[in-house]
Structure 1
Amino acid sequence: MTHRVGLVVFDGVTMLDVSGPAEVLHQASVLGHSYEVVLISPDGGEVTTSTGMPLASTVTASEAGHVDTVLVAGGECLTTAPIDPGLLATTRTVAARAARIASVCTGAFVLAELGLLDGRRATTHWRHAGILSRRYPRVSVDADAIHVRDGQFVTSAGISSGIDLTLCLVEDDHGSGSARRIARELVVFLRRPGGQAQFATNTITSEPSDLLRPVIESVLTSPSEDHGLPAMARAAAVSTRHLTRLFRTELGTTPARWVEKVRISRAQQLLLDGHSVTSTARRSGFGSDETLRRAFLRHLGVTPTDYRRHFATTGTTPKPE
């Protein structure tokens, strides 16, 4: 039985948000799993992507008919201007009759604008997570995750994570063996777990206040120093309770979690620069190999050794301890 996937697109859509999932589904069909991809747009016909390259032969929601899965692609325009009412109407129509509804990157803004994510967990590109959270306070935004599943809804992070999301959907339909074969064919890291942190997580998405700025600069400059809550509160000359409120308000997280994200980011770079696991643990502030290993598994879903093996360049020269 053919599984019909409706990819919702529009003028300004990010090309990889469309081509990445489409290629995964094409490879699944090559394996014998029958998927049909239908490009759906508000007006049908040709759509111009953000690169200027056209997508031809899109159809309207009424022309598309029934689809089993809806996947809304993203685009920068969804965060910088009011969302086109035609795009909202198109998505509402096709989503109403689909069993599974997904989004790539800022496609989550379309689902959120329709109220489909109210009371649900969701994610988007790390750079837009704060905007999504503020604009749609009834959505529980997880800025770290590669993709998030909540009932029939699956949202994913930025751009290339649409491949991870679609591999996840294929795994749901046909098992992990098929997803692994497709990942190998596409030469991508074997399906990153949904709860894994976005590898390109940025630790600051807005300008911090004067109270937080010295604390943030201190952590970024020397992540291996003591950055426990009492030490950071002293540096900001505020109480620990007030510092926690500042982090929640300005950065949307706790002091401890933010510091750990900074240290994870520093550790990733140290490993890619050729430092050993032991040296990386010490220089990034984790202290021990085991603490570093647990943090990597929790945030990235891989060990430090595996991360370096998959992402370091072959020409990296080992660094001295």
Structure 2
Amino acid sequence: MSRHVALFAYPDCQLLDVSGPWQVFASANALSKQPLYQLTLAADAPGTLMTNGGLALEASHSLDQLAAFQPLDTLLVAGGSGVARQCAAPEVLKTLYTMASQVRRLGSICSGAFLLAAAGLLDGLRVTTHWRHADELAKRYPALRVEPDALYIESAGRYTSAGVTAGIDLALSLVEADHGAELAGQVARELVVFLHRPGGQSQFSQILRGQQSAGPLRRLLDRLHADPAGEHSVEQMATFMAVTPRHLSRLFKRHLNTTPNAYLTQLRLEQARLALLEPHQAVALERLAQRCRLGGAEQLRRQFQRYYGVSPSVYRQRFASSIQHPLTEADPCPLP
């Protein structure tokens, strides 16, 4: 029996919020050679609507007509610049609230979280949205527990996700939950995307985060980013900046809300993460930890799990584009 998945779109929604998840489910159908998912595009009313990118979509049903589909397994709400008008539409909010009890999974892509929040469907739950809108979501709806850095979150049967491509990650996670990791992996490879980023993984890399808020630390961060595994003691960093170690720590706290050593550790973890994705290499964890100056294998495991939410071996299995060898403790093929 196929699962019925509906996506709710509206004028000035974000095109990829609709087409990304839709294609994940459609590809699952194509790759399994059977109709695992019945897909429906709904809107305020059936007919043509214009996305904020200028490309038209054709909705086959209105939102209230979805109530006739029983059972409706999953309903996902798109985000986009038109979401404010939907939040101010009482009939839309009422219909969403009514339908919430009739669907197994209710979720949003990007700023679609505002619409679910306006309908009173996220109160008391952990949620996320695009990083640009996270503060506003928390301010408007204080009953929500907004986690601005997560890619997607499931909380009490409600699903919220970050900007645009995170909707693909969310959809892949739903396919995996329904039909297993093998099919989700096939879909990811078909779409040439990673399978699938853990929901708790950061929306930003540490490099991008640092570049956006570095202030007077920019020259030092460029130096650290160029060679994370280099010798970078706090004293050496302070000398480079021509400040005392104590003042350097204050600068890191003020501009990056972290310490020099913690920032450097995160950079080194990113270096290790990228090394795990290198195809055709057997990566010895002990060797990788030494190469990235992260101590030993066990220390690397603990820090990797804490920062990325998965172990190094699981991360490699999910994300490596071409896995030829398992992650091992031995070192049959040393890294250069």
In the superposition, the TM-score normalised over structure 1's length comes to 0.70
- SS of 1:5's equivalent? strand
Structure 1: how far apart are the matches of 2:146 and 2:301? Answer: 26
1:166 is aligned, of 153, 156, 171, to 171
Structure 2: how far apart are the matches of 1:113 and 1:285? Answer: 47
1:314 match: none
1:227 touches 1:259 (CA, 8 Å); kept in 2?
no
2:4 match: 4
Quote the offset at 1:126 in angstroms: 2.6
Residues 38-187 of structure 1 aligned to structure 2 (within 5 Å): 38-65=40-67, 66=69, 67-78=72-83, 81=84, 83-86=86-89, 87-187=92-192
- Give the AA of the match of 1:182: V
2:211 touches 2:218 (CA, 8 Å); kept in 1?
no
Structure 1: how far apart are the matches of 2:3 and 2:181? Answer: 18
Structure 1: how far apart are the matches of 2:81 and 2:39? Answer: 23
Structure 1: how far apart are the matches of 2:262 and 2:76? Answer: 31
- Give the AA of the match of 2:152: H
In structure 1, runs of 5+ residues without a counterpart are 312-320
1:287-317 per-position Cα deviation (integer Å, ceiling 9, x unaligned): 7787566544443447499599649xxxxxx
- SS of 1:138's equivalent? coil
Q: 1:278 to 1:72 in 2, by over 3 A?
A: same
1:166-194 per-position Cα deviation (integer Å, ceiling 9, x unaligned): 12112222222322232233232222222
Structure 2: how far apart are the matches of 1:98 and 1:35? Answer: 15
In the superposition, the TM-score normalised over structure 2's length comes to 0.68
1:24 match: 24
1:47-76 per-position Cα deviation (integer Å, ceiling 9, x unaligned): 111211111134212222232211011114
2:97 touches 2:120 (CA, 8 Å); kept in 1?
no
User: Is 1:190 the equivalent of 2:195?
Assistant: yes
1:240-274 per-position Cα deviation (integer Å, ceiling 9, x unaligned): 9xx6xx78xxx8x76687776566568778999xx
- Give the AA of the match of 1:17: D
- SS of 2:57's equivalent? strand
2:276 touches 2:320 (CA, 8 Å); kept in 1?
no
- Give the AA of the match of 1:235: H
**Farther-moved stretch of structure 1 (151-160 vs 26-35):** 26-35
2:87 touches 2:115 (CA, 8 Å); kept in 1?
no
**Farther-moved stretch of structure 1 (101-110 vs 217-226):** 217-226
- SS of 1:20's equivalent? helix
- SS of 1:190's equivalent? coil
1:202-259 per-position Cα deviation (integer Å, ceiling 9, x unaligned): 5379979xxxx5578866765765679xx99942897x9xx6xx78xxx8x7668777
Quote the offset at 1:122 in angstroms: 1.3
1:203 is aligned, of 204, 209, 231, to 209
Structure 2: how far apart are the matches of 1:281 and 1:236? Answer: 27
Structure 2: how far apart are the matches of 1:285 and 1:69? Answer: 45
1:299 is aligned, of 298, 307, 311, to 307
Q: 1:284 to 1:189 in 2, by over 3 A?
A: same
Structure 2: how far apart are the matches of 1:113 and 1:286? Answer: 45
2:36 is aligned, of 30, 34, 41, to 34
1:196 touches 1:298 (CA, 8 Å); kept in 2?
no
1:184 touches 1:190 (CA, 8 Å); kept in 2?
yes
**Farther-moved stretch of structure 1 (193-202 vs 39-48):** 193-202
**Farther-moved stretch of structure 1 (143-152 vs 198-207):** 198-207
**Farther-moved stretch of structure 1 (156-165 vs 283-292):** 283-292
Structure 1: how far apart are the matches of 2:109 and 2:132? Answer: 14
Q: How much is the aligned-residue C-alpha RMSD, in angstroms?
A: 4.3
1:318 match: none
Quote the offset at 1:38 in angstroms: 1.4
1:235 is aligned, of 241, 244, 247, to 247
| Structure number with bigger Rg | 2
2:97 touches 2:121 (CA, 8 Å); kept in 1?
no
Structure 1: how far apart are the matches of 2:320 and 2:2? Answer: 38
**Farther-moved stretch of structure 1 (280-289 vs 123-132):** 280-289
In structure 2, runs of 5+ residues without a counterpart are 239-243, 278-282, 323-335
Q: 1:140 to 1:294 in 2, by over 3 A?
A: same
- Give the AA of the match of 1:203: R
Structure 2: how far apart are the matches of 1:166 and 1:48? Answer: 23
1:203 touches 1:258 (CA, 8 Å); kept in 2?
no
1:104-140 per-position Cα deviation (integer Å, ceiling 9, x unaligned): 1221222222232221111222333233233323222
